[in-house]
Amino acid sequence: MLYARSSWESHGLILIVVTVSVPSSEELALSIVGKVWQIGRGYNVVVVVQQDDMLNLYTWFPYSSHDNCADVKNVVLISQWVMEGEGKFVRERSLYPSKIPSNFHGCTMNLSALRKGGIEDELYIHYFLTHSITKNSINGFPDVTPDLETIITCGLTLWDRESDILFGDLPLLVEEISNAEPIFPSFVAKLNWFVPCPKPLSHLQKISHIFSPSVWVAIVVVLFLVTVTSWCLAKQSNDIRSYTTLSSVLYNIWAVTVGIS
């Protein structure tokens, strides 16, 4: 699905074309617009539906009245395309007008907050008052700095559509960015992580940590078997004098193992 991709934007311009003729174009457009809003919160949607010899273009306007807030209850016929000759619009108008009103007509918005007070809390109070928005807090305001568990819990209310806005010292976590759209930060806070310096290892520890103990045991066993086998074979031939003692055989075998000529 498109809404599951990282490139999905709820404020993006969406055009949906229905290629079959239906008895009621308005009911079909209402169903499609409602589905797009429910799943991906897409509101800049235009649905093109063929009816007889015309193409009807429908969209919807959220928060247009006190009875029409965030639920898709009706669609608006913004234009029609007449399929005569080269075709033309019945009336020329923008297919994607601004959908964010200056007056929300007292519609309710559900808010989740991670921390009480602060700049963001004051900004939302002022914005809601000037734009006639009813504020509904669905969770309490913790008085301490939120931990990761609290952030995830509040984030679930946003992803489950229980809340419309999540704010309050909210860090930009990967999970939240992929499931919601962050606004421009009100302020930037930098955090420093302090970790203890690692203890240096000795040369012997560095070498011993190259392989696991079981691999080192296998290497020692193989070296011992090859050394004994080479020494026994050298004793049967007088031409190979460098393999006549176990120490010289082990030295040569180790040189071959580590790649020394």
Confidence of residue 141 (pLDDT cuts 50, 70, 90): low
Q: Is residue 238 part of a domain?
A: yes
The sign of the CA dihedral 233, 237, 238, 240 is negative
What whole-number distance in Å separates Cα of residue 258 and Cα of residue 114? 59
Question: Residue 177 has what pLDDT?
Answer: 60
Clarify whether residues 172 and 114 are in a common domain: yes
Q: What's the mean pLDDT in 44-57?
A: 88
What does pTM read for this prediction? 0.62
Say if residue 155 is in the same domain as residue 223: no
The residue-averaged pLDDT of 64-90 equals 86
- Whether residues 112 and 173 share a domain: the answer is yes
Domain of 78, in residue numbers: 2-89
Question: For residues 179 and 185, what is the distance between their CA atoms, to the nearest angstrom?
Answer: 17
Q: Do the domain assignments include residue 52?
A: yes
The DSSP output letter for 202 is P
Quote the pLDDT of residue 179.
Answer: 64
Please measure the distance between the N-terminal and C-terminal CA atoms of the chain and give it in whole angstroms: 61
Q: What is the pLDDT of residues 164-183, one digit of tens each?
A: 888 777 777 666 666 677 77
Q: Are residues 113 and 83 in the same domain?
A: no
Q: In this structure, are 67 and 138 located in the same domain? A: no
Task: For residues 13 and 73, state if they share a domain.
Answer: yes
DSSP state of 23: S
Q: Bigger pLDDT: 59 or 23?
A: 59
pLDDT reported for residue 148: 72
Q: How many CB atoms lie within 10 A of CB 101?
A: 15
**Number of domains into which the chain is organized:** 3
Cβ atoms of residues 29 and 49 within 8 Å: yes
Query: Does residue 257 have a pLDDT over 70?
Result: yes
Q: What is the pLDDT of residues 113-131, one digit of tens each?
A: 777 677 777 888 888 999 9
- Residue where a domain stops, chosen among 57, 89, 121: 89
Q: Which of 179, 214, 231 is the last residue of a domain?
A: 179
